Structure formats: structure tokens, C-alpha cells
Structure 1
Amino acid sequence: MASRASEKLACCICLEMFTTPVTIPCGHSFCKECLNSHWDQEEKERPTSQEVYTCPECRKSFSERPQLSKTVQLDTLVELFRAGEGPAPRREKTTALEGKKCPRHGRLLVLYCRTEKRVICCECTVKECQDHMKVLVEDERKNEEEAERLKEETRKMEQQISSVKDSSEKFKSGVLQKFGHLVESLKECQRKAMERIENEQARTLGQMEENWNQVQHQLDAFTQHSQKAEELLACTDNITFLEELHHLPPPGKLDIPPALEFNLASSEEAITQFLNGVSRLFQEALSTSLNPPKSGPKSK
């Protein structure tokens, strides 16, 4: 607070605490000696036909040189501040500019012209940079330091963004690769399950075909025997009948193979158990670890 108060009680020409403060009609205050020196310099440099005096702060012009009287209340404030705070603190100057003077007017460099991007003195403000944007050198330096700090923060954020993107891409690549392996493994399990069912089907159908051929063979033999028997019965010659009957073989026993069942109980149980286990793992992953977070990342 003391530093800020001292800045308010400082002359913008000498950048020090007011000494015999005076206030001109535009409302700005300066050290009496500083303001007189400023106007004396203006009188030397302007044509004799012109009588214009300007305020070093706002550049308001006066056709006549204002009479200067000490601003009693401001002077009292300065004295009270000095009495309460000890030696009056000087406003900080940029080290690089301390003691340097304007090469054009010989005055201390105290302001920075943003339009021309150069350091100027108080006379430059009214003679060459009257309509330009100007700030105190120390304020410009603070602005530059703040700008540099923001640029550094921006660079850090850009690096963080790049790092997040790189890490995310690498992680996504790894996840896709693992999911690819998982898909291939599931396809292999599917192939083996189908192969197991098809093998069981082929074995059962093969046995059924073998049984069918056996029954068909026996049926053909029985049919042939029946046809020969019918032909023999139609014979009217007893001698021929007896001779042919002696050569007619017995029909033989008709063997019926046992019925076959297509039983997939063992295969179905193993495959169903596997599918239920995989499905349960997927459901648990979807409801817990693979669910997106409800809130975004916390700011540091």
C-alpha cells in the first residue's frame, strides 16, 4: 500500500515524490521546478509568434502560461507521508534507462511510445508523440514481462496438449492392437467350436449311413430270396421244384442296428460355459472399467 501511495504522490516528470506541488487548470499536478523547466524549454524551442504551453501529462494546451501556486493540500499529504513512512521511496526506474536522457531534448527518458516503439522524454510527448499512445516505461516493462509470462504459459500448455495427444494416440494404438488380438482369439474359439460340432455331426451321420447301408443290403437279400421263392412256388413240375428248393438258401436273420442319437450335450455344455464366461467378463468391463468418467480432469 505504501508503494502504491508513493506512486500517486510522484511527479511524472522527475518520477520522485512531489517537491512544492502545483496544479494546473487541467487538474494535473507536478513539482513546481519540473513544470517551470518544461515550459522554459518549450519557450526556447517554439517560434516567438506562438505562445502555447502544454500539460506534460494530458497535453492540454494553454494560450497563456498559467500562474503556479503551491497546492497546499497535496503538499500536506506529501509531508504526512514522509513523516509516517520515513524517506520517500523513489519510483522504480528500469535499470537500463537509469540516468539516460533523450538525445533530442536532453531530458530523462521516462515514457514509452507504443506507436513508434521507442522510449521518449516528457517533451517528446508534446512535440513529436502528441497523438501517440504512451505509457510509463516501468508500466510497459511490466506489460512485456506479463506478456512473456503468458507466452511461456501458452508454450507450456501447447506442450501439454501435444503430450496428451501423443500419449492418447499411443494408448489407442495399443488398445486397438490388443482388441485385434482378442478378436482373433475369439474367431479362433468360434472356429474350433464350429469344428467340434461339425465333427460330431459328421461322425453321427457316418454311423447312420453305415447302418443304413447294412439294413439296405439285408433288405435286398431278403427281396431276392422272396422273388426266387415265389418263382419256385409257381413251378408245376414236382421234380424241378424239389431240385430247385434244395439249392434255395435260407433267407438268413434280419439284423436291425440300434438307433443312433445325435448327442451334443458335452459339446454344448463346454461351449455354453465358455460363452457365458466371456459374456460375463464383457458385461463387467462395460459397467466398470470401460465406462467413461463422469467428470472431467481436475484442474491443478
Structure 2
Amino acid sequence: MASAKTSWSEDNFSCSICLDVFSNPVTTPCGHNFCRTCITKFWDEQVQYKCPVCNKIFDIRPDLQVNTLLSELATPFRKSLQANEQPCVEPAEVPCDVCIGTQLKAVKSCLVCFTSYCQTHLEPHQRVAGLKKHRLVEPMDRLEDRMCKKHDRLLELFCQTEQVFVCQFCTEGDHRSHPVVPLKEEYEVKMAQLGKIEAEVQQMIQERKLKIKEIKATVERSKSDADREIADGGQIINALICCVEKCRDDFNQTVNEKLKSTGKQAVDLIKELEQEIEDLTNRSSEVKQLSHTIDHLHFLQDFSSLKDPPPTRDWTTVEVRPPSYVGTLRRSLDQLEETLNMEMKKLSDDELKRVQQYEVDVTLDPDTAQTTLILSEDGKQVHHGFVGKKLPDNPKRFKFHIFVLTKQSFSSGSFYFEVQVKEHTAWRLGVAKESINRKGRIIVTPEMGYWTLYFNKDGLVFQDNPAVHVPLRAELQKVGVFVDYDEGLVSFYDVEARVHLYSATGCTFTEPLHPFFAPCLYGDQGINSPPMIISPVNQKD
């Protein structure tokens, strides 16, 4: 028996329909064996019931019974065959289109059948003469999509002109004059492009991750700044509240003390008056009693013993005057103002320290300077030279007005710079938007794109419509300019006195801003000669 088994081959146990080892084999009346599923499906698709091997036709559909002996013989052979069978298809591999149940890895694809075969199901193409003529290629999935619809040939080429897949016959027709390359060559080009795209995408991802990190850091920093601002502001406001409450208490105490003094004076006078009334009442009783004496002797005797009248004050000149509160509130408010000014001075100093942290390094742009202006080589100083120079009239240059901008511009965030104006008798200073008019008549107001302070012998003003007069406590030597672009804020500071001068709030910025300088011509030649100097920030402790 063992020797017999060793002589059996797969053909002895193969179904002639599926070419696989029998599964539930049945026998037809003509003596041929098939898998029950295969013969059943075959007859379901036929008009006549015939044998797939000998073509014998049956009048009625045969009632098939399982061939028990063949099933028992095929089962161990199937198991041994499966043990040596090819591995199941992996995700990246092409599966066999014929396998039922577990699909095996395809080893070839047929361009005539449009089918991929594992080693077992490929066998007829290696044995049957008609099938041997079919073109076999390395396994490919979706074979129908790989075939030229027009020529029924494999799409092996790529037309670079029309960016489509073509077969060899297409290059002899519609694509004759087009540059055509093998798919592999175009694949390598596109893969290189894909690698570049992937690198670019990864770089963009990293940039966005860094931006997220930056934004989160900004939020954290903003939260820390907000917490510090709330704490510092709360401390100052609480101090101011304490000052106001103390002022109120001192005022109330002063008024109440005046009222108390007046009340005490009134009580003392009333007490004195009541004592005199009591004394006078007693004397009145004695006089009345004496007036009822009829006996002349007794009357005269008692009259001589009548007491002298008690001493009394002349009350016609005595009065209680209500206290005067005039000036009491004023004196309290003056004291409060003095205290508040001290606190505001501290606040301005703290505020200046904070804005100085946004210092930027700016230099004057000679291409914008009006021809009478003289700039230092380092771009940090400018003064009026009285004589115009012959310079190119480029679009950036101010033609008539004695203005100059910096090379640097800012379109977000905050920035701060300081300018020395000591002994300068007239000047304009601030920021201006990039698109300002530079050639014709210029109106220096926020509406026209300028946010500036103007100083001359008449004082200091913020140039708006109307102008805002800014009080000065001392001669200006150095001015600080702070801009918060996103908040729409422009602030000016007296750096030496460390006080806030003026702030323009609610500004709308929609384009880059440049620091703006104007060393105005004022008075006789030479009077306004000291330069405006961009100075480095020197923070004080």
C-alpha cells in the first residue's frame, strides 16, 4: 500500500475543472470525478447537463453522491500537498485569481486571460499547447487597467507630452512625435520628485510644529505677562485705593473735629448760660418773697441783707459761629494729588522699563531723506543742512518736506526706540506708514498715515485734527517712542524724567510702519543745528 501511494501524483486526485485536489469528490454516471462545488457550478451555467471531460449529455441532471473512497484517498494527499504548498499571499504581493478560499501568491500573470496564477494553477499554461502561446509576465494586479483599450496591448510606456500611459502600438500612431519613455524611467523620475515633495512636506510639517511651539510659548509668555501685570497693577491700584481712602478718612476727621470743637464751645456757653439763669432765678425768688413783706421794719431789715446780684456776662457780643469747611476738601485733594503723582511717577518708571525691553536697532534711510538733510555715516544722526544736494529723485525720497524714514519697517508685534532732541528747538518724531505721500503737500496727521509729536517754542503737541497739547514739566532731552502694532498703540515718553507724555490708542495699522524723523528748520540759520540722534537704550534700575 505504501509503495502504491508513493507512485500516485497530483493528477490522480485533481479535479479537471478547478485543477486542484478534490474537495468532496462526486462521480458522474459516465464515471468521471469532480469536486461537488465545481460540477454543480458548471451545470448551473450550462443549458445541457454534460460531462466536462467526455461531453456525454444527460437527459436529466444526475443525482450526485460523494465518492467516499476517492475522498478518503484525496484527503491525506491534500494535507501533504498543502504542507509543501507555496505560502499564502502577503499584503504587498499579487494573489492568485483562481484559488478558492485561501489565495496563494501568484507567480505569473497572463495578458491574454487577464488572470494571475499561482504555481499550481499556472500548470495548464505550461502544458496545454493553446495556452502555451499566451503571454506570461511577472505578477501584476488589476491587469485590465494595464492594457491599452485601443490596441489590447500592455501599457509599458509613458507619453511625456500628454502625460498618459501608452503601448508600443500607440507610439506608431497618435503619439508618433511625442517623447515617450519606459514606465520604469518615468517611475524613477516621479519617485525622485516624490522624494523631494516628501522632504518639502516634512519641512513644512516641522515649520508648523515649530510655529505651534512658538505660539504656545507666546501664549505662556502672555499668560505670565498678564499674571505679572495683574499683580503689579493690583498692587498699584490697591495703593491708590488706600490713598483715596486715607484722604477720605482724613477729610472726614478734619470736618468732624471742626464740628466737635464747635459743639464743645456751644455746650460750654449753654452751661454757663444755664448757671446764670439759675442764679438769676434764685435772686428773682428772693426779690419776690421780699416784695410780699408788709411790715416796714422787716422789709427794710431784709432789703439791706439782700445779696448783690450775681456777676453775668454781656451776651450781646457772644455767638457760636458754624465752622468753615472752605478749603478743607481742596487741601485734602491737593495732598491726594501729590500722592497720586508720586504713584504715577512710579508707574511711568515701571512702564518705561517694560517698553524699553522692545528696543530695536534702526538706522536712517538716505534714499528717503529730503535733499537738505545731512545724515551721519552710521545712519544714527540727522540735522538740517540748509543747502539742498543734487540727489536722484527716487520714489522713496521726500521732495519738499524735511523728513526722513528709517530703513527698517515693522508690520507686527511691538518695537521701541529713543531719540536725543537736547537743545533742538523744533522737531517732529514718531512713526509713519509706508505708503505715505512723499512728493506733494503733506498733512502730518494719523488720518494721512503719521503718528507724531511736534515740538517748537509754543510747546509740545500730538499732531492730530485737532492737535492735542501735551503738558511739559521739564525741558525734553530724550524722547522714547513705543509702538504696539497689533494693539494699535503709539506712546511717547520723556526718558530723562521717566514720565509718560502721550499715547494714541485705537490706531488701525494695515501696512508696515517706519520710524519717522523731522529736524525742522526753525528761526535763523544755525539755531536748530544740533542733530536728532538715535540713542541706544540705557535702562535704569
TM-score normalized with structure 2 length: 0.32
3-state secondary structure, aligned to 1:248: coil
3-state secondary structure, aligned to 2:319: coil
3-state secondary structure, aligned to 1:261: coil
Structure 1 match to 2:195: 137
Deviation at 1:274, TM superposition (A): 5.1
Deviations 1:193-219 (A, max 9, x none): 111111111111101110111111111
Deviations 1:51-83 (A, max 9, x none): 58989xxx653342332537564449x9xxxxx
* Aligned 8 A contact 2:251 2:329 in 1: no
Deviation at 1:243, TM superposition (A): 2.1
Alpha-carbon distance in structure 2 between the residues aligned to 1:271 and 1:279: 12
* Aligned 8 A contact 1:204 1:262 in 2: yes
Match of 2:168 among 67, 74, 95: 67
Alpha-carbon distance in structure 1 between the residues aligned to 2:283 and 2:261: 34
Structure 1 match to 2:263: 205
1:192 maps onto 2:255 in alignment: no
Deviation at 1:228, TM superposition (A): 0.7
* Aligned 8 A contact 2:276 2:312 in 1: yes
Structure 2 match to 1:236: 294
Alpha-carbon distance in structure 1 between the residues aligned to 2:216 and 2:339: 42
3-state secondary structure, aligned to 1:46: strand
RMSD of aligned C-alpha atoms? 4.5
Identity between Structure 1 and Structure 2 (%): 10
Deviation at 1:142, TM superposition (A): 1.6
Deviations 1:124-176 (A, max 9, x none): xxxxxxxxxxx822222221121111111121111112211211221111101
Alpha-carbon distance in structure 1 between the residues aligned to 2:198 and 2:329: 82
Match of 1:153 among 211, 216, 241: 211
Letter in 2 for 1:252: P
Alpha-carbon distance in structure 1 between the residues aligned to 2:110 and 2:176: 35
Letter in 2 for 1:46: S
3-state secondary structure, aligned to 1:64: coil
* Aligned 8 A contact 1:51 1:64 in 2: no
Letter in 1 for 2:506: K
Structure 2 match to 1:183: 241
Structure 2 match to 1:46: 109
Go from structure 1 to structure 2 and tell me whether the alpha carbon gap of 1:204 and 1:242 turns closer, same or farther (over 3 Å shift): same
Go from structure 1 to structure 2 and tell me whether the alpha carbon gap of 1:144 and 1:170 turns closer, same or farther (over 3 Å shift): same
Structure 1 match to 2:323: 263
Alpha-carbon distance in structure 2 between the residues aligned to 1:262 and 1:229: 39
Letter in 1 for 2:109: R
* Aligned 8 A contact 2:293 2:299 in 1: yes
Letter in 2 for 1:216: E
Deviation at 1:49, TM superposition (A): 5.6
Deviation at 1:296, TM superposition (A): 7.0
* Aligned 8 A contact 1:232 1:241 in 2: yes
Aligned ranges 1:18-37 → 2 under 5 Å: none
Alpha-carbon distance in structure 2 between the residues aligned to 1:184 and 1:212: 41
1:293 maps onto 2:505 in alignment: yes
Go from structure 1 to structure 2 and tell me whether the alpha carbon gap of 1:250 and 1:60 turns closer, same or farther (over 3 Å shift): farther
Alpha-carbon distance in structure 2 between the residues aligned to 1:167 and 1:219: 76
Deviation at 1:271, TM superposition (A): 3.4
Aligned ranges 1:249-260 → 2 under 5 Å: 249-255=307-313, 256=315, 258-260=318-320
3-state secondary structure, aligned to 2:243: helix
Query: Whose strand proportion is higher, 1 or 2?
Result: 2
Larger RCO, structures 1/2 (Cα 8 Å, 6+ apart): 1
3-state secondary structure, aligned to 1:259: coil
Letter in 2 for 1:141: A
Deviation at 1:293, TM superposition (A): 3.3
Structure 1 match to 2:435: none
Alpha-carbon distance in structure 2 between the residues aligned to 1:234 and 1:143: 131
State the number of aligned residues. Answer: 203
Match of 2:283 among 216, 225, 228: 225
Deviations 1:231-268 (A, max 9, x none): 10101122221222122112234312610212223534
3-state secondary structure, aligned to 1:136: helix
Alpha-carbon distance in structure 2 between the residues aligned to 1:258 and 1:268: 29
Match of 1:174 among 222, 227, 232: 232
* Aligned 8 A contact 2:247 2:332 in 1: no
* Aligned 8 A contact 1:204 1:260 in 2: yes
Q: Return 5+ residue gaps in structure 1 as ranges.
A: 1-43, 79-90, 92-106, 113-134
Deviation at 1:45, TM superposition (A): 3.8
Q: Return 5+ residue gaps in structure 2 as ranges.
A: 1-106, 116-136, 155-166, 345-469, 471-490, 492-499, 513-541
3-state secondary structure, aligned to 1:271: helix
Alpha-carbon distance in structure 2 between the residues aligned to 1:167 and 1:299: 27
Aligned ranges 1:81-160 → 2 under 5 Å: 111=191, 136-160=194-218
My pick for the range that moved more, 235-244 or 245-254, is 245-254
Letter in 2 for 1:262: P
Go from structure 1 to structure 2 and tell me whether the alpha carbon gap of 1:149 and 1:235 turns closer, same or farther (over 3 Å shift): same
